[in-house]
Chain A
Amino acid sequence: AQSVTQLGSHVSVSEGALVLLRCNYSSSVPPYLFWYVQYPNQGLQLLLKYTSAATLVKGINGFEAEFKKSETSFHLTKPSAHMSDAAEYFCAVSEDQGAQKLVFGQGTRLTINP
Chain B
Amino acid sequence: NAGVTQTPKFQVLKTGQSMTLQCAQDMNHEYMSWYRQDPGMGLRLIHYSVGAGITDQGEVPNGYNVSRSTTEDFPLRLLSAAPSQTSVYFCASSYRERNTEAFFGQGTRLTVV
Q: Chain A residues in contact with chain B, CB under 8 A? A: 4, 6, 9, 32, 34, 36, 41-46, 49, 51, 53, 90, 92, 97-107
Q: Name B43's contact: one of A46, A98, A102 (CB within 8 Å).
A: A102
Q: Chain B residues in contact with chain A, CB under 8 A? A: 4, 31-33, 35, 40-45, 48-50, 58, 90, 92, 94-107
Q: Name A99's contact: one of B42, B44, B58, B100 (CB within 8 Å).
A: B100
Question: B95 to chain A: which residues have CB within 8 Å?
Answer: 98
Count CB-based A-B contacts (< 8 Å). Answer: 77
**Docked CA distance A42–B96 (Å):** 25
User: With A102-B43, A102-B45 in contact, is A51–B99 under 8 Å at CB?
Assistant: yes
- Smallest beta-carbon distance B1→chain A, Å: 15
B106→A42 contact, CB < 8 A: yes
**Docked CA distance A101–B60 (Å):** 12
- Smallest beta-carbon distance A16→chain B, Å: 29
